[in-house]
Amino acid sequence: MISLSTITALLCANSVVLASAIPKGGKRALERILDSSLMLSDSSIVESIVATLEDASNSNDTCGSCINRLAIGKSLALVRPDLIPESFENWCVKTAYASNETCNTNFARNTIHSGTTGSNFADMLQLMDPFGYDGTLYCHYKEVRLCPKPVTPNITLSHLWPPKQPRHFVAPEPSANDTFNVLHISDFHVELDYKVGAEANCSRSMCCSPHSVNRIKKESEGSYRGVWNSFYEGSYYDDRNMSYVKGKYVDIFQNSSIWAPATTFGNYQCDSPEVLINSSLNSISEYSNANNVDFEFAIFTGDLVDHDETRYTDYRLTVESEEIVLRDLKSRLKSIPVYTVLGNHDNYPYGELGQEGYGFSNKFTWNAELLADIYEDYNWLDAPTARYARKHYTGFAVDTKMGLKVISLNSNCFYRRNHYAYWNATNPDSFGQWEFLINELVQSEALDQRVWIIAHIPPATDGLPLPSKIFTEIIERFSPYTIAGVFFGHTHYDQFNLLYAGNGSHTIENVVNFAWISQSVAPFIGNNPSWRYYKIDKKTFSVMNGFNFYTKLNETYNNDGNEPIWEFEYSSREGYNISWPAESPLNGSYWHLVAEKVRDDLSYRQLYENYSKRWTPAVPNCSVVGNCLTDYCTLSNFNLDDFEACVAEVHQ
């Protein structure tokens, strides 16, 4: 039992604004909570808050309703954050604001057994300004555009770097055919409960797990009997010699309720069984040995954990997924250093990460400590660098043996699904990550050292506007002299993002830099598993070429459980038939020419889509009206605001 006199003052601060938006019945409910003479039980407080939220939402003004709910929630969160999850979940279910499952996912209290995000929502409410930029930003991106997109604050961090000197506007010239190789892999998404014979044509989310179902009752025998035959349960690769061991055949057609049974090495509607991940890693080792291609180091741009629904994802699964995949990487790549980043799935709960110094980071330090320990144990990072990663969201900067600096960033800091990114959102660097990046770049520029930046999420894909603006400014300031490469994952597609000078004109003269976006090993959704490596100039660390490899996953459906066949797909220099000097790196100017071809020529647009999804049956036909419309927007924009403006123009 508590007195709500303390809540009174907090709610009164918002009462003037609320009063104009809440209907009469809602005002009475709010007055009940504001009555400081009441001594209410927790259940009574929750009941009153639910009624107030319900009335605050009873308006055609979706934006105002969303903001008022945040204000009510903030007032409660400041004194009883523990009641936020129950209050908002009950309101969500009672008003059918979303499905019961979505209400639970978004608002229920999270535990080690449940990755629901209500506790993180409560944390956010305590610190955010509902009536300012924070609230409008949240209601636009997190609540499916209930508010119009707010204007991105005109804020910069340029005071943290020195003026750009004339020589810094020119990239150094590469050496004469003196190169080394770097491996790039991304988005494994191990599905630890992948089950051969499980439903691969399920009604929700990721399929091929024991709980996958198709909600439409199957009335007749499926069309896969006699066509698909790769149903070998328990297949694996022996860690001692990397040899493939085929498992036991399962007669999956005895289960007449399955529409499409999951086969041994995966399905386009599923994440990666571990046997597929190890097949990809073995293909890398085999190619390296057969072709005398040594890798100086590897970069992994995030996402170890699968896409399963929140109710099937817990703390144990997250830890186990991270440990297993990193172990597999180490066992196959041996002494090759692997520089990694965290993906949005590599957190628990999904996508969440709290800033250091504001009372919530202790919820997430376990992950940084776990991963930094692994990086150090595997000799991927030395002790001082691992120590930094433990305290800074697993981010780090490392000088490779060749002299290149690799800077690893945690892109969950600017991920739009991260609740903690919505409080004090006008602060351009609440995580301190940009200052870290700038300091490293300033230091390298002074030493004439070239730098690679690796992160998971491209800012134009799933970022937020202000962090995207700051990131763009940093890349522009230190390109092309210092930044030799930027590398992302996340989309699962083979893509790139161009960055043009600030005036926004997409001309070859205005190209500043670009980012590689690596294809995924995971087939979800509709992609062939793939990996690539780069040929790197030893002097400038610029990419001279990229070589892409893939396997046709659908050909493993009927190969009697045998190993996938990994094939060379294309080289980045020759794949688009662009005339380009052999001695020049594949820089932003090269990819500008590719992007123009994709924009102007249907055959190039189709070729890009083929490469993007690696020739799967799911590749769209770009000659069909409405398909492939935003491809050029994706390729030609690094900044989120620019990308969204481009897409809006396409759809006008």
pLDDT score recorded for residue 24: 46
| Cβ proximity of 391 and 362 under 8 Å | no
What are φ and ψ of residue 618, in 5° steps?
A: -85, 0
pLDDT score recorded for residue 13: 43
537's tokens: 């100039």
180-189+271-650 has CATH 3.40.50.2020 classification: no
Q: What angle do CA 170, 577, 609 make, to 5 degrees?
A: 100
**Cis amide linkage into residue 525, ω under 30° from 0:** yes
Question: What is the C-alpha separation between 410 and 10, in angstroms, rounded?
Answer: 35
Q: Return averaged pLDDT per consecutive 10 residues of the chain, 652 residues in all.
A: 42 43 46 55 94 93 97 96 98 96 96 94 97 98 96 98 97 92 98 97 92 83 84 95 95 87 98 98 97 98 95 95 98 97 97 93 94 98 97 96 97 98 97 98 98 98 97 98 98 98 88 98 97 98 98 98 98 97 97 98 98 98 97 98 96 90
pTM: 0.94
Question: What is the C-alpha separation between 593 and 555, in angstroms, rounded?
Answer: 34
If we measure between CA atoms, which residue out of 295, 297, 222, 294 comes closest to residue 255?
222
Distances (CA, A) of 151 to 51, 134, 155, 330, 466: 33, 12, 12, 45, 10
First to last CA, the chain: 56
If we measure between CA atoms, which residue out of 30, 95, 93 comes closest to residue 59?
95
Q: Which residues contact 554 (CB under 8 A, 6 or more apart)?
A: 268, 616, 617
Going by their DSSP bridges, the two strands 2-3 and 39-40 should be labelled as antiparallel
- The answer for 572, left when phi > 0, alpha when psi is -120 to 50, beta otherwise, is alpha
Angle formed by the axes of helices 62-77 and 133-141, nearest 10°? 120
Going by their DSSP bridges, the two strands 396-399 and 405-408 should be labelled as antiparallel
| Cβ proximity of 549 and 530 under 8 Å | yes
pLDDT score recorded for residue 284: 98
If we measure between CA atoms, which residue out of 366, 364, 355, 357 comes closest to residue 414?
355
Q: What angle do CA 514, 520, 525 make, to 5 degrees?
A: 115
Going by their DSSP bridges, the two strands 483-488 and 451-454 should be labelled as parallel
| Cβ proximity of 557 and 540 under 8 Å | no
Distances (CA, A) of 345 to 301, 302, 325: 12, 8, 13
**Cis amide linkage into residue 349, ω under 30° from 0:** yes
Q: Report the b/e string of 448-478 with b at 16+ CB within 10 A.
A: ebbbbbbbbbbbbbbbbbbbbbbbbbbbbbb
What residue ranges of the chain are covered by domains with CATH 3.60.21.10? Answer: 180-189+271-650
pLDDT score recorded for residue 240: 87
